[in-house]
């Protein structure tokens, strides 16, 4: 008998033993006792046991998998959810997929989603599943629609049924769209955990996968806009870090990657029609998002059910990249650039604002917008920024004040708001021309979105307002009352940069989780925001995660219960992110992870 036969025999014996509920797991100490985890009233409680433990008692992860109503699921499903309390071992190579009931137009997408799902399983067992099993998983996918477009009205719902007969596990995932089906696979990956098996048979512990033996899940999101905003201008974020972030977003069913791609400090977005923008605006030639990079992000995001919301912030927050106007004979495209002392002209250095009085600016914008619109499908939303226009800058620019004077306008705040509104109207017209189909436009809340004047300047069928005021500010309600659609970025809960500068306070995951939005049809959802004055690729993971995951559950599930009841699942999800290569913040001593409910 060859060695390979011996191995198979050994593994066969091992499976038999696990199947019988005896434990070969956990390091034993001298007196034969070892740690085990028992699910008691929804909590996994650690105990020293002297008798054999079942597989689900072998680790905090395996206990969590079947403990409580929502097990290890993040975000928790919004519909009926039942999970069996037993588990089976399986190996990733034993998965069989049936895509017969997926429309042919959607098969490529589903195959991509399946590849991601398979990779996530392998990552769950630390890259190499060494424990074999003869369980067979048959995954039947049913997708009704062949529509591959992703927008606010996309049906993201899915159902998942999992049942076991002997060594055969059958999984049925039904969804209206591929995006719902993708969410189903994400949920399925969370019904799986790794565990380590040691035995007297082999010296090195083997790592394998276990899956719950039965499940029935009905699920769909509460809000259709569930976003994460990342600023890649204050500091450049390399492509791999962006893709890693998108992977992590997918694990929490977030569906909008809001890419704040430019700001005063740098302009890293390549525009083939206006190459000067990156040449003068990128930190270095290595720190540029080329067209193919942006396309790659858009493609990878969509494969994970995520839309890319590109923001080109204007007319404020613009400087680097726009300096070359005078040398090219175009006049000042941006004004107040790098003005010192900066406090006279802007809110943070370097100063810079676009010059609405320069007709050449709009020609450049037309080219830039054309390059942007070509990246996206027709009608895809676009973020035009529009925050923190600093009037003293324009007021100190002769070309602008001359323009106001020539038109009989004054230099009061109202005059500058009018100038801004005209800039915005022109920019919108140019973008519409570039895009062909007029898309939904998103703007940050600002002076221009003041409820008393907004209706004069911004049409409610074109503009969606992203509010970034504190929780107790009446602005969102006032805008809702006037018929505007809203995306919430509550700054005293969802601004992840707070706590590291000025008098701002760090917002814990609990604060993020407990930020409840009003449930109106015109509340599209929310976004958690990562401004990067103090962040780059080195620390972004720990700033964003797992707090963004807390926001994801608020937006997907909008649970009536508070963060107190989410801690054990979030701690488990954090471990999942670690396995998938993200470096999330640690929330508590590992002792608390192993002793649920003890660190209250």
Kindly list the catalytic residues. Answer: 263, 317, 388
CB atoms within 10 A of CB 382: 21
Q: Which is nearer to other proteins, 183 or 579 (CB)?
A: 579
Pairing of strands 43-49, 34-40: antiparallel
Provide the minimum distance between the beta carbon of 317 and other proteins in the complex, in angstroms, as a whole number: 12
Pairing of strands 43-49, 81-83: unpaired
Say how far apart CA 544 and CA 83 lie, in whole Å. Answer: 30
Provide the minimum distance between the beta carbon of 310 and other proteins in the complex, in angstroms, as a whole number: 20
Secondary structure string (H, E, C) spanning 25-66: CCCCCCCCCEEEEEEECCEEEEEEECCCCCHHHCCHHHHHHH
Secondary structure string (H, E, C) spanning 444-501: ECCHHHCCCCHHHHCCCCCEEEEECCCCCCCHHHHHHHCCCEEEECCHHHHECCCCCC
Say how far apart CA 571 and CA 576 lie, in whole Å. Answer: 9
Q: Which is nearer to other proteins, 156 or 270 (CB)?
A: 270
Provide the minimum distance between the beta carbon of 338 and other proteins in the complex, in angstroms, as a whole number: 7
Are the CB atoms for 526 and 487 separated by under 8 Å?
A: yes
Provide the minimum distance between the beta carbon of 364 and other proteins in the complex, in angstroms, as a whole number: 7
Q: Distance of CA 395 to CAs 183, 390, 404, Å?
A: 51, 9, 10
Are the CB atoms for 285 and 266 separated by under 8 Å?
A: no
Provide the minimum distance between the beta carbon of 145 and other proteins in the complex, in angstroms, as a whole number: 38
Q: Which is nearer to other proteins, 112 or 205 (CB)?
A: 205
Provide the minimum distance between the beta carbon of 359 and other proteins in the complex, in angstroms, as a whole number: 11
- Please give the angle made by the CA atoms of 266, 310 and 477, to the nearest 5 degrees: 110
Q: Distance of CA 12 to CAs 19, 89, 133, Å?
A: 11, 12, 8
Cβ neighbors of 206 (< 8 A, separation 6 or more) are: 130, 131, 196, 197, 198
- Please give the angle made by the CA atoms of 421, 424 and 430, to the nearest 5 degrees: 145
Q: Which is nearer to other proteins, 166 or 329 (CB)?
A: 329
DSSP at 326: G
Provide the minimum distance between the beta carbon of 340 and other proteins in the complex, in angstroms, as a whole number: 7
Provide the minimum distance between the beta carbon of 115 and other proteins in the complex, in angstroms, as a whole number: 26
Are the CB atoms for 249 and 308 separated by under 8 Å?
A: no
Q: Which is nearer to other proteins, 246 or 277 (CB)?
A: 277
Q: Which is nearer to other proteins, 418 or 572 (CB)?
A: 572
Strand, coil or helix: what is 392? helix
**Helix, strand, coil abundance in the chain, percent, nearest 5:** 35, 20, 45
Q: Which is nearer to other proteins, 2 or 329 (CB)?
A: 329
Which H or E run includes 284?
A: none
- Report the candidate in 496, 577, 582, 503 with the shortest Cα–Cα distance to residue 260: 496
> 79-91 burial string, b = 16+ CB within 10 Å, else e?
eebebbeebbbbb
Provide the minimum distance between the beta carbon of 509 and other proteins in the complex, in angstroms, as a whole number: 6
Provide the minimum distance between the beta carbon of 4 and other proteins in the complex, in angstroms, as a whole number: 27
Q: Which is nearer to other proteins, 407 or 564 (CB)?
A: 564
Q: Which is nearer to other proteins, 31 or 41 (CB)?
A: 31
Q: Which is nearer to other proteins, 224 or 338 (CB)?
A: 338
Handedness of CA 378, 239, 577, 190 (dihedral sign): positive
Q: Distance of CA 397 to CAs 253, 301, 311, 314, 352, Å?
A: 46, 42, 26, 17, 12
DSSP at 379: T
Are the CB atoms for 321 and 267 separated by under 8 Å?
A: yes
Say how far apart CA 116 and CA 423 lie, in whole Å. Answer: 44
Say how far apart CA 280 and CA 251 lie, in whole Å. Answer: 37
Count how many Cα atoms sit within 13 Å of the Cα of residue 211 in the half-sphere of its side chain. 26
């Amino acid at each position: 008998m060859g060695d390979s036969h011996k191995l198979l025999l050994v593994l066969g014996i091992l499976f038999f033993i696990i199947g019988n509920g005896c434990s070969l797991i956990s390091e034993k100490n001298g007196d034969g006792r070892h740690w085990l985890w028992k699910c008691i009233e929804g909590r996994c409680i650690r105990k020293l046991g002297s008798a054999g433990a079942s597989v689900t008692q072998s680790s905090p992860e395996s206990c969590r998998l079947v403990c409580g109503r929502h097990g290890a699921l993040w975000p928790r499903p919004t519909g009926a959810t039942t999970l069996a309390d037993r588990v089976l071992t399986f190996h990733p190579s034993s998965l069989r997929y049936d895509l017969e009931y997926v429309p042919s137009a959607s098969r490529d997408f589903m195959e991509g989603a399946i590849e991601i799902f398979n990779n996530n399983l392998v990552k769950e067992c630390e890259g190499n599943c060494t424990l074999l099993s003869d369980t067979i998983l048959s995954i039947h996918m049913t997708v009704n629609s062949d529509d591959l477009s992703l927008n606010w009205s996309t049906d993201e719902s899915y159902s998942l049924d999992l049942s076991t007969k002997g060594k055969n596990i059958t999984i049925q995932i039904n969804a209206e769209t591929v995006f719902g089906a993708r969410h189903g696979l994400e949920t399925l990956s969370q019904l799986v955990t790794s565990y380590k098996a040691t035995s007297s048979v082999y010296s090195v512990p083997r790592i394998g996968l276990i899956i719950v033996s039965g499940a029935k899940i009905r699920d769909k999101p509460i809000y259709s806009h569930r976003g994460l905003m990342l600023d890649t201008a204050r500091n450049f974020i390399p492509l791999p870090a962006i893709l890693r972030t998108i992977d992590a977003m997918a694990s929490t069913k977030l569906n909008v990657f809001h890419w704040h791609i430019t700001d005063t400090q740098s302009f890293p977005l390549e525009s083939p029609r206006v190459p000067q923008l990156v040449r003068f605006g990128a930190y270095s030639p290595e720190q540029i998002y080329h067209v193919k990079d942006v396309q790659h992000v858009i493609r990878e995001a969509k494969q994970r059910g995520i839309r890319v919301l590109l923001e080109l912030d204007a007319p404020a927050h613009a400087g680097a990249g726009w300096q070359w106007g005078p040398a090219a004979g175009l006049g000042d495209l941006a004004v107040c650039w790098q003005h010192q002392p900066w406090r006279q002209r802007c809110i943070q250095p370097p100063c810079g604002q676009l010059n609405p009085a320069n007709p050449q600016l709009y020609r450049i914008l037309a080219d830039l917008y054309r390059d942007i619109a070509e990246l996206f499908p027709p009608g895809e939303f676009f973020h035009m920024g529009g925050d923190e226009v600093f009037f003293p800058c324009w007021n100190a620019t002769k070309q602008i004040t001359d323009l106001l004077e020539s038109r009989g306008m004054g230099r009061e705040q109202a005059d500058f708001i009018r100038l801004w509104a005209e800039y915005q109207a022109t920019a919108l017209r140019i973008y519409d021309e570039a895009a062909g189909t007029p898309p939904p436009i998103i703007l940050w809340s600002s002076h221009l979105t003041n409820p008393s004047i907004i209706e004069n300047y911004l049409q409610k069928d074109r503009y969606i307002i992203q509010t970034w005021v504190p929780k107790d500010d009446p602005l969102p309600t006032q805008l809702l009352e006037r018929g505007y659609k809203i995306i919430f970025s509550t700054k005293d809960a969802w601004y992840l940069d707070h706590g590291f500068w000025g008098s701002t306070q760090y917002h814990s995951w609990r604060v993020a989780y407990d930020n409840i939005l009003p449930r109106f049809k015109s509340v599209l959802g929310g976004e958690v925001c990562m401004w990067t004055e103090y962040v780059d690729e080195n620390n972004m993971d720990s700033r964003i995660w797992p707090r963004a995951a807390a926001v994801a559950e608020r937006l997907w599930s909008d649970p009536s219960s508070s963060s107190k009841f989410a801690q054990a699942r979030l701690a488990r999800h954090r471990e999942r992110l670690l396995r998938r290569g993200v470096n999330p913040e640690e929330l508590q001593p590992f002792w608390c992870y192993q002793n649920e409910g003890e660190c209250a």
